[in-house]
Structure 1
């Protein structure tokens, strides 16, 4: 008899469900996108109820079309977009407002007030992450301040606040289980990453009632059971929850100190395993990778707000290309000597620049700059940002990254992967499957359920390797051009602040 494990990945653009067999092979996969709600101020929201319904529809499709006996599906692992903030009623499970997506910077005023109060250093020391509107705490504070339904629920002690893992678990278990785990909790800016507990002083600083937050379990705990609204005749155990980036790190087998991967999705997360101690840095953040079987793993991480989203900008807004697949062909047609640079600061810049007010800018254009050159500049911006984060992590830990494992849909772009190897002077390893977040949580849940035993699923991944092909002098000249573009963006903000 075969056993199968579901990997459910709820990400920024949509939700994926994958079914893995006992050898880690993908038996079935399907996805559904949800609406990106963007207003004139650039605020980015998601409809929580739409996302939940997509989960149920996907599970129904899996049961109908996966072609395996339903009784042989033994459990679920859940991976989610991180930092996105949700609020719902404790008694009914009803969402009280749209989720505020991790990219959204509407809470910048709240962050600036905390900075003026001199709390930045204390928050960084306790949480490992730089005070920023992109993390969950500031978004929750904004909801409590600006959304009457959220504020009323708090006053009535009927409020649940959390990240997407907690929201989905609560709905899938019909309010029975209100839990989270360290990888997601560490990204809220409300968890003390040293003792793995919600911190009262942090909650007070952001005005978030601690009683509205979920219990923190270890990452491979039995979080609850669900029949997905009656689709399964017998409830399935949810035996792993992880943030999507940590799930990919786990799926890539990065379980040793110094192992590095980059997840390149809507945004990008560059993450290094730093072991069981939370080493801190001013340029990148320190978070929790996972807590499994009582053992803590910490990570150093830098996040990019616009990675794959830059390509979607080319498609949807500029209409320079019809689909993401066109980007590679056009990039290869660009004039080699063209020095056009895009700094995609559409919602500020994260690590290692930390400039909330930066604006997106195209620099270095000449009369010969055209469609291919702009498309190439957009692709190159992803590589440059990842390279800057790698350098920051390497400097802090005094480790030179030799191999960068990557995952996400953008990794199918061979131009991009080769350019990453050239700019970062690393071997870039691209696995034979894109869905490493779903793979990671299915693997983690399957281990807890004894499906995989001693089998190390990451060993079955097959990698395509990209190695550096350009001269060092050329590499340095290209990187210098990028650094000049970044400097222009940051200096322009300094000047505007003086006016």
Structure 2
């Protein structure tokens, strides 16, 4: 029974892994599939997903991954799946029927900016400090709480259904567990709950006062919160798994990557380069407040004991390369970016600010927009591609600076994962701009791996964190030069980046 089905439900697609954990010294992926699904942009700044598209992508990816596993491993059978682990896009809001788990509206995606004015209203009412102290978050449309407020104010029929208890609200993990269990389980866990603006991260409970402020009619509209490695329910009525398979591990995607990178000690940090770039640093069992524009979030809860993390989010990372490919058509394939940009310099002449969904930490400017700066008649396509890769690395360097300021010491090692971390040029630039050793593991899909490891713990296959620490293996390291000339060059490039950030904020009318 040493196989785990790991579901990684992301912003643009769903990945399912079949993970062999029979050998205690290593984990092996024996089946994998990814299914993309459509993005919906009904108005400027709005981003939506169809929950049925999400579910169908999970179902199809699971069937294909299980088929691959059966082909590659003669010992494997579907009946040998011991447990399911789930990791998910965190702040996306789902509204669905309590009894059937049928979607009641499109999901409002974490990138959606429709609740910007609500956030401004709450700030004007002097509530930002209260939210910050209790939730560790800032008032930004990124988080699901103000998306709920928007629904309650703008969808009166749905608001009535929520008030009556017929329709419930949750993050994507809650929706998936409900579907997997045939509507029997309505649950979440702290790493997801802590992204709602309604969860007190120190008490580990929904906050009744914040619920009223956000116009959430009752705590019953929100899911029961359980430990991150515990029993969330069992499968029922699925086309790809038998009934009775337990769901034993759930983590939000960035916390799952922190676990998959085995960052279990305070000060250990990782950055995931996916649609956005998300840097988390383990804080241990005591939450700390950031003075540098970072979030304080719950990493996970085990045995009722919460572990915390600092988090910095850049909303656009790998999506910037997709933007080059799909909107600007400067690339045929995203994988071409490294070869095209190698040997070409952009900064300090040409910059790209990837504020295509606003600026995240440490700037927190939802009104900012993306821009190329410094273009001339001599600018080449290769320079523009290099500027995009540099822009991703500059954003993360800002985050490492903020983490260092809050921890009181610089990061020495940054563990990396996610699709864009396979770009060697980007990782080399990252090491230079952030003055840090970039540590790339053999397994880049650490998000799904983290969900699998927590599910294995929840199922009793692994005894605890200490056993998981031994599983990570390093593939390669990227380091920075300590020469004086190199440091001067990087300082000049980063000074130009700061001017570029200021320029887009001037254009947005938000510069200070």
Structure 2 residue matching 1:66: 3-state secondary structure:
helix
Structure 2 gap ranges (5+): 71-75
Tell me if the contact between 2:30 and 2:68 (Cα under 8 Å) persists in the aligned partners: no
Partner in structure 1 of residue 477 of structure 2: 465
> Which region of structure 1 is more displaced relative to structure 2, 295-304 or 36-45?
36-45
Structure 2 residue matching 1:37: 3-state secondary structure:
coil
Structure 2 residue matching 1:456: 3-state secondary structure:
helix
2:270 is the counterpart of 1:261: yes
Distance in structure 1 (CA, Å) of the matches to 2:510 and 2:268: 40
The Cα of 1:355 is off from its aligned counterpart by: 1.3
Structure 2 residue matching 1:6: 3-state secondary structure:
strand
Instruction: Within 5 Å, give how 1:284-303 maps onto structure 2.
Output: 284-303=294-313
Distance in structure 2 (CA, Å) of the matches to 1:365 and 1:231: 52
Distance in structure 1 (CA, Å) of the matches to 2:236 and 2:102: 19
Tell me if the contact between 1:5 and 1:75 (Cα under 8 Å) persists in the aligned partners: yes
Alignment counterpart, residue 79 of structure 1, candidates 87, 91, 107: 87
Partner in structure 2 of residue 414 of structure 1: 424
Alignment counterpart, residue 103 of structure 1, candidates 111, 132, 143: 111
Distance in structure 2 (CA, Å) of the matches to 1:419 and 1:141: 41
2:164 is the counterpart of 1:156: yes
Assess, with a 3 A threshold, how the Cα gap between structure 1 residues 318 and 357 changes in structure 2: closer, same or farther: same
Alignment counterpart, residue 166 of structure 1, candidates 166, 169, 174: 174
Distance in structure 2 (CA, Å) of the matches to 1:49 and 1:492: 39
Tell me if the contact between 2:237 and 2:243 (Cα under 8 Å) persists in the aligned partners: no
Structure 2 residue matching 1:43: 3-state secondary structure:
coil
Partner in structure 1 of residue 261 of structure 2: 252
Assess, with a 3 A threshold, how the Cα gap between structure 1 residues 230 and 347 changes in structure 2: closer, same or farther: closer
The Cα of 1:150 is off from its aligned counterpart by: 1.8
The Cα of 1:452 is off from its aligned counterpart by: 3.3
Assess, with a 3 A threshold, how the Cα gap between structure 1 residues 193 and 337 changes in structure 2: closer, same or farther: closer
Assess, with a 3 A threshold, how the Cα gap between structure 1 residues 93 and 495 changes in structure 2: closer, same or farther: closer
Partner in structure 1 of residue 379 of structure 2: 369
Partner in structure 1 of residue 73 of structure 2: none
Alignment counterpart, residue 184 of structure 1, candidates 192, 196, 213: 192
The Cα of 1:361 is off from its aligned counterpart by: 1.7
2:223 is the counterpart of 1:225: no
> Which region of structure 1 is more displaced relative to structure 2, 144-153 or 363-372?
144-153
Tell me if the contact between 1:252 and 1:458 (Cα under 8 Å) persists in the aligned partners: no
Query: Deviations 1:444-481 (Å, cap 9, x if unpaired)?
Result: 11122232346436534232110113611111111111
Assess, with a 3 A threshold, how the Cα gap between structure 1 residues 58 and 377 changes in structure 2: closer, same or farther: same
- Misfit runs of 4+, over 6 Å: none
Instruction: Within 5 Å, give how 1:222-371 maps onto structure 2.
Output: 222-227=231-236, 229-282=238-291, 283-335=293-345, 339-371=349-381
Assess, with a 3 A threshold, how the Cα gap between structure 1 residues 157 and 460 changes in structure 2: closer, same or farther: closer
**RMSD after superposition:** 1.7
Query: Deviations 1:382-414 (Å, cap 9, x if unpaired)?
Result: 101111011111101102100000100001100
Distance in structure 2 (CA, Å) of the matches to 1:456 and 1:63: 24
Tell me if the contact between 2:350 and 2:372 (Cα under 8 Å) persists in the aligned partners: yes
The Cα of 1:338 is off from its aligned counterpart by: 6.0
The Cα of 1:17 is off from its aligned counterpart by: 0.6
Query: Deviations 1:264-293 (Å, cap 9, x if unpaired)?
Result: 100111100011111011410100000012
Query: Deviations 1:79-114 (Å, cap 9, x if unpaired)?
Result: 001100011122332211110110111111111111
Assess, with a 3 A threshold, how the Cα gap between structure 1 residues 62 and 176 changes in structure 2: closer, same or farther: same
Give TM-score scaled by structure 2 length: 0.93
Assess, with a 3 A threshold, how the Cα gap between structure 1 residues 495 and 468 changes in structure 2: closer, same or farther: closer
Partner in structure 1 of residue 41 of structure 2: 38
Assess, with a 3 A threshold, how the Cα gap between structure 1 residues 362 and 74 changes in structure 2: closer, same or farther: same
Distance in structure 1 (CA, Å) of the matches to 2:438 and 2:398: 16
Structure 1 residue matching 2:342: 3-state secondary structure:
helix
Assess, with a 3 A threshold, how the Cα gap between structure 1 residues 138 and 323 changes in structure 2: closer, same or farther: same
The Cα of 1:333 is off from its aligned counterpart by: 4.7
Alignment counterpart, residue 483 of structure 1, candidates 489, 493, 498: 498
Assess, with a 3 A threshold, how the Cα gap between structure 1 residues 406 and 337 changes in structure 2: closer, same or farther: closer
Assess, with a 3 A threshold, how the Cα gap between structure 1 residues 66 and 459 changes in structure 2: closer, same or farther: closer
Tell me if the contact between 1:443 and 1:457 (Cα under 8 Å) persists in the aligned partners: no
Distance in structure 2 (CA, Å) of the matches to 1:455 and 1:300: 24
> Which region of structure 1 is more displaced relative to structure 2, 222-231 or 425-434?
222-231
Tell me if the contact between 1:327 and 1:375 (Cα under 8 Å) persists in the aligned partners: yes
Structure 1 gap ranges (5+): none
Distance in structure 2 (CA, Å) of the matches to 1:336 and 1:316: 21
2:144 is the counterpart of 1:136: yes
Tell me if the contact between 2:320 and 2:354 (Cα under 8 Å) persists in the aligned partners: yes
Assess, with a 3 A threshold, how the Cα gap between structure 1 residues 60 and 357 changes in structure 2: closer, same or farther: same
2:10 is the counterpart of 1:5: no
Distance in structure 1 (CA, Å) of the matches to 2:88 and 2:241: 22
> Which region of structure 1 is more displaced relative to structure 2, 438-447 or 86-95?
86-95
Assess, with a 3 A threshold, how the Cα gap between structure 1 residues 271 and 335 changes in structure 2: closer, same or farther: closer
The Cα of 1:421 is off from its aligned counterpart by: 0.4
The Cα of 1:494 is off from its aligned counterpart by: 3.6
Assess, with a 3 A threshold, how the Cα gap between structure 1 residues 120 and 253 changes in structure 2: closer, same or farther: same
> Which region of structure 1 is more displaced relative to structure 2, 244-253 or 149-158?
149-158
